[in-house]
Amino acid sequence: MDSKLISFLVGYFFTVNIASIIYIWLNVKTNLIKLKEKNKDLISVIFSIIGGFVGILLGSEMLQYKQDKKLYKRWIPLIIFVEFIIIVFIVYKKVNT
């Protein structure tokens, strides 16, 4: 892979994961985010889909933020698995072409 692409991806995932941790911190420590719990969980799923799953899981463990146990036990690990399969497929295609 191109070194510029790798550096972009590392920076992107770092930024999204930091934003995910900040989102969890804002939910736990402040009252700035005034949404229903269902919408807060949807935002967590969106962060996970765009690559912030490490930040969501790390932030929820560090700050004891567990709103929907089903979300954190089933859906976010499923998203991680699907994203891992997609990455393996892309790398496999890139290596074989």
pLDDT digit string, tens, across residues 34-80: 888 888 888 888 888 888 888 888 888 888 876 667 777 788 788 88
From residue 18, give the alpha-carbon distance in Å to each of 36, 40, 74, 94.
23, 17, 22, 29
- Rounded-to-integer distance, Cα 71 and Cα 40, Å: 11
- % pLDDT > 90, the chain: 7
- Helix (H) or strand (E) holding 69, with range, is helix 69-70
Per-residue pLDDT band at 31 (split at 50, 70, 90): confident
Q: Please report, for the chain, the start and end positions of each structural domain, with discontinuous segments joined by +.
A: 3-96
pLDDT over 70 (residue 92): yes
Q: Is the pTM of this model over 0.85?
A: no
Integer-rounded Cα Rg, in Å, for the chain is 15
Strand, coil or helix: 54: helix
- Rounded-to-integer distance, Cα 43 and Cα 49, Å: 10
